[in-house]
A and B are shown apart, each in its own frame.
Chain A
Amino acid sequence: MSQPLQPWGGPPGATPHADAMTASDEMVQLLTPEGRRVEHPDFAFTGDDAEIAGLLREMVLARRLDLEGTSLQRQGELGLWPPLLGQEAAQIGSGRAVRDADMVFPTYREHGVAMLRGVPVGDMLALFRGTSMGDWDIDEHRFGQYQIIIGAQTLHATGYAMALQRDGLIGNPEPDRNAAVLVYHGDGASSQGDVNESYVFAASFQAPVVFFCMNNQWAISEPSTRQSRIPLYQRAWGYGFPGVRVDGNDVLAVKAVTDWAMERARQGQGPAFIEAFTYRMGAHTTSDDPTKYRLSEETEAWRRKDPIERVKTYLLDAGAIDDGWLSDLDAEADALGEHIRSTCRQLDSESLAHRFDVLFREPTAESEDDRDAHLSYLARFEPLSEESAR
């Protein structure tokens, strides 16, 4: 009979990585589902209640953005929408640990992080409306394009982090000069070759990149146990960097853990892995039907761990906010909803001919000829359509 793994996930006889964080078998939590602050030996949320209220506000707005996305898809205004419902704390907590100089690489679900990075809501919706390829200004917002190929962005993030190293932007004594990369991927992506290769490259080059694994328990219909036999955060040890599991529905813990990992990376201490233990309350996308593969009891159990409710409870109990504050926030969310809906309905696409113009930075005669042939073909129909209009 084979020997069991050691409690921290390592093989028999092995010793844990020098960085004791890896050995932690506990999920970091600083705010319970009941809204009670708790201590953790390694991590603390250092902000005040005003900052927590700010996080609550952003989670509420992210949830509204998401609900509008789902509704717009149901109304036929969007072709598809991947909901973030349930992952507000994981997104806002981590997104708030990113500074302006840092770079973020998202999956296709990080709408809350996109909002924090100032990505215009129209740019976000355009991808799902089919009026663009998702072309917000990456350099201005320091937020990469949404990535549909599962896990491909982890390599881009690692390469970007290697570029930061070469630019001399890590390990400087002036902390403001330093930068790091935060990259999101899901539990399903943890099986992808690219993701595993990115861990190897990040470790090998000690690149300043933090892998934020959004373990929302489901890769479409497959549970996370289909991807891994051990807790995902324990894999990090094998690649040579620390891994931490955090309560992904606890915005304070997510912020504290991501702050730690990003600062570590900025200072030149290499990559880290964060497993945010959370739950996809909604469908994978608006095309999915989760009732076919998971029980309503499970969803109900997670509903009691709602990331927003616990923060509300805490702040109300602490007297930091009141009902008036919350109704102001509701009004702000309503205004955001109206803005999203009107923006979405105005989005239109450039013509196909434009796609030829952005094929290459240095255009070829070949692609210009193709575009011109396409345009002259279309031009042949114009007199005909005028005639039929008469």
Chain B
Amino acid sequence: MSTMTMAKALNAGLRRALDANPKVLLFGEDIGKLGGVFRITEGLQKDFGEERVIDAPLAESGIIGTSFGMAMRGYRPVIEIQFDGFVYPGFDQIVSQVAKFHNRTNGRSSVPMVVRIPYGGGIGAIEHHSESPEAYFVHTAGLKVVTCSNPNDAYWMIQQAVASDDPVIFLEPKRRYHDKGEVVHESKPIALHQARIVRGGTDATLIAYGPMVKTCVEAATIAEEEGRSLEVIDLRSLSPIDMVTLTHSVRRTRRAVVVHEDVRTLGVGAEVAARLGEELFYLMESPVLRVTGHDLPYPNSRVESDFLPDVDRILDAVDRSLAY
């Protein structure tokens, strides 16, 4: 066991993945000597060489499309998209080519590739650097979409994603890159597409992922002081969604609030709310509420704190859920 930041945990996980399989390649802009703009790949080119940790020309569709070609020949490219807002030039290759390949080859072939995307806001960045693009990928059949919220998950989930024979969109909450936590090297991790109960509770379930898990735990801690017991679930996998863990929790608490930075309309929260409604309608004491980014383009950084869900907005939604 050791304590490290999420950034270091991802670096360590990638190093393990490169060690474990010579077919694993890292491909992205500035990931070589610089180690990526967030230093996630720091030192890896030095240790694994320029043929395996490859600085790419500055073209996202080119990176995704050529990685697809390498994956067709048995390589396992792990792509770094520099920032969330830069993935869109590569969107066609992801949704039209990568996502469909196993299906359109009638199961003959697959492209085992990982697209790492630092995502989310809260870092005071200029536009296109704080987006939450997850819903686009969750909406696309044929992709698996996961996101880590802490260093231990980061370390294990990136290795599991690289080992997956299906394409995985791997979302990294960039505002949590420098948060420290325990990484347990010794014990086996839970399955990649399994959700995790972060904190037990009985009055309502907070459902979050990525950057909002920490915020929800803070909200639950404050609520506890007010005598309310909130369960917090880290979804971890956005596609598929682990409904077993969710329904197990909400059967007990009978109230749920979904929290994400992404905008509300047709977001992951909408899907979770619909599925909980379909399965637990008669059991629930209140409708599933959503605390999300507003239906706006991501705003200028000086007002992003009003855009992003925070402890107060989460507790306000809990109040409304409990008062129902």
Contacts and interface: CB of A to CB of B under 8 A. Distances in A.
A162 B103 contact: no
Given A134-B104, A138-B108, A364-B240, A160 B142 contact: no
Interface stretch (B90-98, B174-182, B220-228, B304-312): B90-98
A167 interface: yes
Interface in A98-117: none
Contact of A162 (B64, B70, B108, B110): B70
B241 interface: yes
Interface stretch (B38-46, B71-79, B199-207, B285-293): B71-79
Interface string B58-94: 0101101111111111110000000000000100110
Interface string B169-196: 0000000000000000000000001000
A359 B65 contact: no
A138 B61 CA distance: 23
Interface string B119-155: 0000000000000000000000110100000000000
A204 interface: yes
A214 to B, nearest CB: 20
Given A149-B92, A194-B61, A200-B59, A160 B106 contact: no
A138 B71 CA distance: 13
B56 to A, nearest CB: 8
B191 to A, nearest CB: 11
B286 to A, nearest CB: 26
Contacts, number: 132
B105 A200 contact: no
Given A164-B73, A360-B166, A364-B193, A139 B65 contact: no
A358 interface: yes
Contacts of B102: 358-361
Contacts of A197: 57, 59, 61-62, 65
B215 interface: no
A138 B107 contact: no
A152 B104 contact: no
Interface string A124-163: 0000000011110111000011000100101111111111
Given A135-B108, A152-B92, A160 B65 contact: no
A152 B122 CA distance: 35
Interface of B: 25, 51, 56-57, 59, 61-62, 64-75, 89, 92-93, 96-97, 102-110, 112, 141-142, 144, 164-166, 193, 239-241, 243
21 contacts: A135-B104, A138-B72, A145-B105, A155-B65, A158-B66, A159-B69, A160-B72, A163-B69, A163-B74, A166-B51, A166-B75, A194-B62, A194-B65, A198-B62, A200-B59, A201-B62, A359-B142, A360-B144, A361-B102, A364-B144, A366-B239
Given A135-B105, A163-B73, A194-B61, 6 more contacts: A159-B67, A163-B75, A164-B73, A166-B70, A360-B102, A361-B166
